[in-house]
Structure 1
Amino acid sequence: MKDAVSIVKDQLKHLSMILRIARYEERADYQSHYLGLLWQILNPLIQIGTYYLIFGVGLRGTRTATDGVPFFVWMVVGMTTWMFINQSITRGSKAIVNKVNLVSKMKFPLNILPSINIASGFSVYLVMLVVSLILLVSQGVTPTLMWAQYIYYFICMIVFLYAVTLFTSTLTVLFRDMQFIVQSVMRLLFYVSGTIWNIAEMPESIRHYFSLNPILYIVEGFRDAFLSRAWFWESPALTIYFWAFTLFFLVAGSVLHNKFKESFVDYV
Structure 2
Amino acid sequence: MNYLKSLYNDRNMIMQLAKNDFKVRYLGSYLGIFWAFVQPVTMILIYWFVFTIGFRTMPIGDVPFVLWLIAGIIPWFFISEAIASGTSAILDNSYLVKKIVFRVSVLPIIKIISALFIHIIFIGIIFIVFLAYGYPVTIYYLQVFYFLFASIALVYGISLITSSLMVFSRDVGQIVAVLLQFGFWLTPIFWSFAIVPLKLQLLFKLNPIYYIVDGYRNTFIYKEWFWESPLLTVYFWSFTIGLIIIGTILFKKLRPHFSDVL
TM-score interval, smaller chain: over 0.9
Matched with 2:8 is 12
What TM-score do the two structures reach when normalised by structure 1?
Answer: 0.91
Query: What SS is found at the alignment partner of 1:72?
Result: helix
Q: Equivalent of 1:177, from 149, 160, 171? A: 171
What TM-score do the two structures reach when normalised by structure 2?
Answer: 0.93
Matched with 1:33 is 29
8 Å contact from structure 1 (residues 21, 116) kept in 2:
yes
1:51 is displaced (CA, Å) by 2.5
Verify: 1:251 aligned to 2:236, yes or no.
Answer: no
Matched with 2:115 is 121
1:228 is displaced (CA, Å) by 3.8
Q: State the distance in 2 between where 1:158 and 1:185 align.
A: 18
Q: Percent identity?
A: 32
Query: What SS is found at the alignment partner of 1:191?
Result: helix
Matched with 1:223 is 217
1:175 is displaced (CA, Å) by 3.1
Query: What SS is found at the alignment partner of 1:136?
Result: helix
CA offsets per residue over residues 63-84 of structure 1, 9 Å max, x none?
A: 1112x22111211121111011
1:106 is displaced (CA, Å) by 4.8
CA offsets per residue over residues 185-232 of structure 1, 9 Å max, x none?
A: 110000122211121343322322211110010011011111143211
CA offsets per residue over residues 83-140 of structure 1, 9 Å max, x none?
A: 1100100111111122123441352110000011011112211221111111111222
Matched with 2:60 is 65
Between stretches 184-193 and 169-178, larger displacement belongs to: 169-178
CA offsets per residue over residues 172-195 of structure 1, 9 Å max, x none?
A: 123332111111111000012221
1:62 is displaced (CA, Å) by 4.5
1:53 is displaced (CA, Å) by 2.8
RMSD value, Cα = 1.7
Distance change in 2, residues 1:202/1:146 (3 Å): same
Q: Equivalent of 1:141, from 118, 135, 142? A: 135
Q: State the distance in 2 between where 1:169 and 1:10 align.
A: 20
The runs of 5 or more residues in structure 2 that have no matched partner are none
Q: Which amino acid aligns with 1:32?
A: G
Matched with 2:42 is 46
Q: State the distance in 1 between where 2:212 and 2:139 align.
A: 18
Q: State the distance in 2 between where 1:10 and 1:259 align.
A: 20
Q: State the distance in 2 between where 1:53 and 1:209 align.
A: 30
The runs of 5 or more residues in structure 1 that have no matched partner are none
Q: Equivalent of 2:185, from 186, 191, 194? A: 191
Between stretches 129-138 and 200-209, larger displacement belongs to: 200-209
